[in-house]
Structure 1
Amino acid sequence: MHKDVMSGPDEPIRVVVVDDHNVVRKGLQLFFGMLDDIEVVGEAADGRHALDLLGFLSAEEALPDVVLMDLEMPRMDGIAATAEIKKLYPAVEVVALTSFSEAERVHLALEVGAAGYLLKDADADEVGVAVRAAHRGEIHLDAAVVGKLTRSLRQPAETGAVLTPREREILELVARGHSNRDIAKALMISERTTRTHVSNMLGKLGLVSRTQAALWAIREGIAPGP
């Protein structure tokens, strides 16, 4: 089985834009076209089309690094599409595109593996920040909707008391948006050990993503909000 080749350290971040509104897709393409470090390699009008596109790109060994995924779309919505993408292409990061009024649905996208979320009316620069953060394995939380999301986040199976001191320390760093590489450097441990701690922490809390963990830590007062 071949391995899909994604962006290297000096190559532009490869992005696929998924939204049923043509004006949104074209607007994002125009914005990214002005940047040197991000390029749009495809677009789709719904989740089904997005999966077909990623299947084609995978066959060409050209998967994107990040998918910007609208949540409300015909045929297949963004939540179902995100679940399929993370199952088929776990290395591809998904950032949910949402309006403030749809924020309650974002936690569903986080539960199936979305790395973060972005408001559709965000400033252009913030779109770039969110894409770069997802590519680095970091978390980008929009302060405007963190409160709504932390309230709607499902209660994990266990509480923070089950975490070891090291896991709690790593949870706080995850909540502050640090990548595994950053955490490894800060704690002077290997990235492999960091990944193990993150995985154990998520498992103990009954959560499935770093973003869910960050929101939970903010809600529980373990880490400050953005």
Structure 2
Amino acid sequence: MAPIKVLLADDQELILESLRIVLSLEEDLAIVGLATNGEEAIEGCEQFRPDLVLMDINMPVMDGVAATALIKQRFPATKVIILTSYREVEYVLAALSHGAEGYLLKAIHPKELAAGIRVVHAGGTLITQEMASKMIKSINQASAPKSNEYGLSPREMEVLHKLASGLRNQDIAEALFLSEGTVKNYISTIYSKLNVTGRREAARKALDSGFMDR
């Protein structure tokens, strides 16, 4: 049986080389290419046609979520596993919504990572128990927004929650499947309703008012 062709994408050369060495020890895995940003990952898919891409999220030029979306559009047969240190639910949801089949943390044991690659290559979906629990909690919270005294709509509450978590407008847009312009409009409305002028002030007022968890 032919080995599983894997392309590695990470902007840290030490991690790239470590992954290459560790995964090359597995007889059924073949590292066919390395990429240091999302654009290089797409180019690698064009050149090497890997079965699977092991993709970091935070990379220069193009991040892993955007690269995943383009790879799934252009090479739908190629599987993508996000391998990152980010534990935020927003990143998980954004990655999975763009077609990623797995989301793993870099602290994973090499043998478990290799096993995960095999699971996804065989058609499975992979996510750690920790991240799955966070996703369920996030979905439950989103489905039952807390009341508030400022007249914020449920969608405005969602935007405010993510804004208070420190996410950028682009990340909020990806997490909520909105355009960045729409997010900016929501934020402007939120500021007006809360009578604030910035993110920190908005987050503080929401927390102090008791309709968002600390």
Q: How many Å separate the matches in 2 of 1:149 and 1:39?
A: 32
Q: Any idea what the Cα deviations from partners look like across 1:21-72, whole Å, max 9, x if unmatched?
A: 1111111111112110111000100001111222222xxxxx1111001011
TM alignment of 1:97-176, pairs within 5 A: 97-153=83-139
> Does the 8 Å CA contact 2:81/2:101 hold for their aligned counterparts?
yes
Query: Which residue of structure 2 aligns with residue 177 of structure 1?
Result: none
Query: Which residue of structure 1 aligns with residue 76 of structure 2?
Result: 90
Aligned length: 142
Q: RMSD value over aligned CA atoms?
A: 1.8
Which residue, 45, 50, 60 being the options, matches 1:74? 60
Shift of 1:17: 0.4
> Does the 8 Å CA contact 2:89/2:138 hold for their aligned counterparts?
no
Shift of 1:103: 4.4
Q: Any idea what the Cα deviations from partners look like across 1:165-193, whole Å, max 9, x if unmatched?
A: xxxxxxxxxxxxxxxxxxxxxxxxxxxxx
Normalised TM-score (structure 2): 0.62
> Does the 8 Å CA contact 1:104/1:148 hold for their aligned counterparts?
no
Is 1:54–2:40 an aligned residue pair?
A: no
Amino acid at match of 2:39: R
> Does the 8 Å CA contact 1:107/1:153 hold for their aligned counterparts?
no
Q: Which runs of 5+ in 2 are unaligned?
A: 144-214
> Does the 8 Å CA contact 2:35/2:44 hold for their aligned counterparts?
yes
Amino acid at match of 1:14: K
Amino acid at match of 1:43: L
Query: Which residue of structure 1 aligns with residue 201 of structure 2?
Result: none
Query: Which residue of structure 1 aligns with residue 30 of structure 2?
Result: 39
Shift of 1:146: 1.4
> Does the 8 Å CA contact 1:46/1:75 hold for their aligned counterparts?
yes
> Does the 8 Å CA contact 1:71/1:97 hold for their aligned counterparts?
yes
Q: How many Å separate the matches in 2 of 1:20 and 1:102?
A: 20
Q: Which has the higher contact order (CA 8 A, sep 6+)?
A: 1
SS at match of 1:101: coil
Query: Which residue of structure 2 aligns with residue 26 of structure 1?
Result: 17
Shift of 1:141: 2.1
> Does the 8 Å CA contact 2:7/2:44 hold for their aligned counterparts?
no
Shift of 1:117: 1.0
Query: Which residue of structure 1 aligns with residue 170 of structure 2?
Result: none
Q: Give 4+ residue runs of structure 1 displaced > 4 Å after superposition.
A: 153-156
Q: How many Å separate the matches in 2 of 1:150 and 1:68?
A: 24
Q: How many Å separate the matches in 2 of 1:37 and 1:92?
A: 17
Amino acid at match of 1:125: K
> Does the 8 Å CA contact 1:98/1:106 hold for their aligned counterparts?
no
Q: How many Å separate the matches in 2 of 1:127 and 1:153?
A: 27
Shift of 1:153: 4.9
Shift of 1:100: 4.7
Q: How many Å separate the matches in 2 of 1:153 and 1:42?
A: 36
When structure 1 is superposed on structure 2, of 86-95 and 23-32 the one drifting more is: 23-32
Q: Any idea what the Cα deviations from partners look like across 1:93-116, whole Å, max 9, x if unmatched?
A: 000112253443111010010001
Q: How many Å separate the matches in 2 of 1:84 and 1:138?
A: 21
